[in-house]
Structure 1
Amino acid sequence: MDSAQLALFALAVGALIGAGTVLLVGWAYRVRAIALQETSSVVPAGIGDVLAGMDDAACVLDASGLVVATSNAATRFGIRDGAVLENGELRRLVRGVRDSGASATETLRLTGGASLDPRLVSARASSVGPQLTLLVIRDVTERERLDQMRTDFVSNTSHELKTPVASVSLLAEAIESAADDAEQVRIFAARISAEASRLGQLTGRILSLSRLQAAESLSQVEPVSIDEVVAASIEAHSVQADSAGVELSRGGERGVWVRGDAQVLIEAVGNLVANAIVYSPRGSRVGVGVKVDADVVEIAVTDQGIGISDADRERIFERFYRADEARSRRTGGTGLGLSIVKHATQRHGGEVRVWSRPGRGSTFTMRLPLASAPESVLDKKSKRKTKKKRASGDARTRDARNGEFA
């Protein structure tokens, strides 16, 4: 082998050794990177941005159970960066996922954090790396409450409908048995009529409430005179008030208008008046007052009745809930009146407020957005003012003439 061939051979061997060294170094770096990834607790890029955009409470935990990243909503459950999970059930869920490597979901009832009330949550834990675990907590308390309300509504409706139907059936049998006793027949017939009226009232209110809850908006929206709403509500319950020995009075501002459905508002205010009469002692007064507060109309129904306890005040707008079960049964109450008031007011963009003290009475106030009077009403007012001015001017002219000829 001459010197030239020997030089080429040396170069080839050097190149092979250099390439091998590069490959060996590259492989060593890759092994080191994998080892670091398997033991690192650094949150991967992008996860922090994802957590920041989440509405649910969420956090990332390292192998020691320390929180290394959180969403904004995590503080609701007392979860903070740099701290461990306070809740034992959540820690158990995360440990199980870390040990098995498989995701897991559990429904838990949690307390603590920003709310002292127990919250029903759906908690899901997933591995996002050899050393990191993602925990997402979704609050399903409201969903559970709505599901329970639907279940209760169906159950209560079935029960409430069965009662008058069963009574009518029994009374019909009693009439048949007492066919020869005219007086008993009249008594049973009157009771059948009362039960039929109660059944009609109940079904009517169920339909009203269902329409208010099902529709996204009112079917008919137009200018509504609060004077007419209050007058119709009082007139509809004047007989009830007379029978109960309760005086009905109307006060406050007049000529006030809102936009909405007149019949829905009349039913809502009427329900408040009816309730006030039922829970007022004989000889007392129920007042309906109207007040304008900035751009809001307040319709307040005040009684001097038995009042409402703090515990009942939280639930009185629930369907079929009765603060005084015995009195409500005795007077034929359905337990739907205040629920209709609440939904009717909300459909009109307003709210209902309650003030009450046991033994001192109650005040229910419907707050609705104020609206301008229709042009036709404004034109009539303008014409009446013009007529008054003309009449006044004519009177002054006659007085002047009489003075001249006197």
Structure 2
Amino acid sequence: MERAVSAAWQEPYKHTGNMLERVLSVYMKDTSNHYARYASITQSSGTGKSRMVDELAKQIFCIPMSLGSKSAYPPQDIEVVRYFQSSMSGNAGMRAQRIQLFMCALFEIALARVKVIASEYDSEDKSLSGLASRFRQLMSDGMEYGQHGQYREEFYSDVCKRATEVSCISAQLLSSRSGITHTPGQGSPTPVVSVEDQKATPITVTTAAQALTSYLAKIPIKSSAGANTQLDLILHFDEAQLLTRSGNTAEEALFPDVRRALGLIRNLPIFALFLSTVGKLEQFSPPPQLDSSERIFRSTLVPFPPIVWTPVDVLAARITNDKVWTLREVASTHHIAHLGRPLFAAMYDAALAEGDQEVHTWIVKFALQRRAQRAVNAPLTGPRQMARPQSPPSLQSPR
């Protein structure tokens, strides 16, 4: 099974058009007064959420973080999960501090890595999509079921180490309140944690993000993706339901703190995506009357609508008029296995290619079980049965 899952991730990507790029383009051009530039993608497992973002990462610079269980794929980023889990037990000020310092470190380390990648290119060959694709490749190299490759492990080891180091410095500033400023605006202001670098220059989430996006903005764009979306950077939180959980009465969910940090950089060409397989849209997009933010509760600021539609049947053979299809072909296991969520079809093909009959048979049985379960629960549960909230026209199915 592990080999089949890993092989399925490497199957050629097929889709009905770059929907995610179109949606983000609409969102980036939206002039409404948004709380922050983020949206959730909530759907069942195997529907291609992670792969869809990974494919766009070939064109737009994307920093992926996998927060799922150790049995998830893509694998868990252990250092990041450990950092977030250790942040849950702090008080409100400490949680805000640790989240902001993590994002500061994330932007700083990413900028350092981008500069190294850029130095490998000749000036004529360097492009934003080329750098994005190269960074994605490095972050994916060596990825197996249960672990990432050396580059990605070292990347997040450096990020978490840097965040922890500056956290010790900032803790003293936080206690004396000399390291906190406030952003103007209505409602409760967001505390801004500031630390100093080796040159005694103040660093905040905003300045660290500006440094990275300013560098990326200087790199030529030779792809339509960056130009169409007006977007330089995507933050990808995979299996992000970890951020909405609280382990016990002494622990608090981190998502409000992450969202506040994103609010500080909402004027920059950065967009965050929170992917989740938990079928509850309200975990990242609660109704305004239940939102923890007073500014959203009073409609002073608004969130972006969640994304709930992902393509299905993309790996199935198309029934067209130029070929006569028999009932045997249409009803065959091979054809039916390629309908529905892409993961089943990709695993089916991967197992077939490796001659693994055991996995091949298991996939068919598992799909039948899931189908029977959905038939029983369809009226009540399942993200695809949930009413779709108001969303841009680009989210509609092209079929």
TM-score after normalising by structure 2: 0.20
Task: Between the two structures, name the one with larger relative contact order (CA 8 Å, sep ≥ 6).
Answer: 2
Structure with the largest fraction of strand: 1
Structure with the largest fraction of helix: 1
